[in-house]
Homo-oligomer: A and B are copies of this chain.
Amino acid sequence: LAPEPETLPESPAGRKRVSIREVARASGVAVSTVSRSLNDDPEVSEATREKVRAAALALGYRPSAAARGLARGRSGNVAVAITAPHTPVFLDPFYAEVLGGIEEVLEARDLHLLITSLKRGHDLVSLVNEGRADGLIVIGCELEEERLREIQALSPLVLVDRELPGFTSVSTDNRAGMARATRELIERGRRHLAFLTDDVSNPNFRARLEGFQDAIAAAGLDALAAPVQSVSPQEGGGDEGARRLLATGRPIDGIVGANDTTAVGAIRTLRAAGLRGPDDVAVIGFDGLAYATGPDWGLATMWVDKARMGREAARLLLEAIDEPAASPGRSLVVTTEWRPGRSI
């Protein structure tokens, strides 16, 4: 008997969804067979599969995410929390590229991206606790470790741009990378170096400072000749910090910025002060942001493959989701790359 052409109640927005039962009826099989066919279960015969496929397509059937999620215990979503202090966090170009990498991998696995910029850490716990996402990627360092442990007890978790014992993470070789960059400066004959950072509470920046100091020590330079200037973590921090550096009156022929944004601020200040880089003062940064290494600033920097960080994080998370038995703690370090620029 033919499927009765009942008039679908076409509501203002959204006509009635077609369920698996109607596909079953239309193709003359049981719902379980429809389910198997649509999920590529090898048990089902080719003929049946095709018949079901055709019916599903004809009816415009799409499985309900909620129903499937309930039955499978999986939402098909992955959550990403960005824990930057500024708003909107989406403006951060570093994280934007990481996000792009994450999305690339998720898309290939047909997973969806749930984003939260995380004001209150507790929401994150709810998020995973409600099963809205099958796993979580936390980008940045702003979230308390205790909160992270709480989350990890509930769901697969991967940290990005932050390394913490007991957690799976993807980060950069902050210390070694910054040592390398500083060495480049030293090899070019610079002797009076300064390190400029705008957020000493950030562990990545602290590691970079250590790298800077490693290189200073290895070169036998006087550590005192390398003042650390910490400025407020607001827009224009690098500018102000560099001004203070200059105000000390010490001789400075090289400035190492904890990141590109800070370094660009320094360049701006130097230019305003009539100093020419790199002749007078060479400047280097860290991150490899497009705007900083571009034609305007030509910043020399340690380039970070941000998209790759995102891809790796997503892969690690998917592994953790697929393999719930494995214990966390894999820490992947994406190495940085020296990118000389006009600023050096």
Contact = CB atoms under 8 A, between A and B. Distances in A.
Nearest to A69: B66
A225 interface: no
A152 interface: yes
A100 interface: yes
* 6 nearest CB pairs, A to B: A88-B100, A66-B69, A90-B96, A62-B129, A66-B70, A65-B130
Interface string A112-132: 111111010000001101111
Interface in A9-64: 11-15, 17, 60, 62-64
A247 interface: no
B155 A14 contact: yes
Given A17-B129, A87-B100, A291-B291, 20 more contacts: A11-B324, A12-B327, A13-B154, A14-B155, A15-B153, A62-B129, A62-B130, A66-B131, A67-B70, A70-B70, A76-B132, A77-B132, A90-B90, A100-B117, A103-B116, A113-B115, A114-B115, A235-B290, A268-B296, A296-B296
A91 interface: yes
Nearest to A236: B295
Interface in A179-235: 235
What is the count of identical protomers in the complex?
2
Contacts of A2: none
Q: Which of A60, A69, A296, A320 has the most CB of B within 10 A?
A: A69
Q: Which of A13, A77, A96 has the most CB of B within 10 A?
A: A13
A173 interface: no
Interface in A55-107: 60, 62-67, 69-70, 75-77, 87-91, 93, 95-97, 99-101, 103, 107
A146 B327 CA distance: 48
A325 interface: yes
A231 to B, nearest CB: 16
Given A14-B154, A88-B96, A325-B12, A64 B131 contact: yes
Contact of A103 (B88, B91, B127, B155): B88
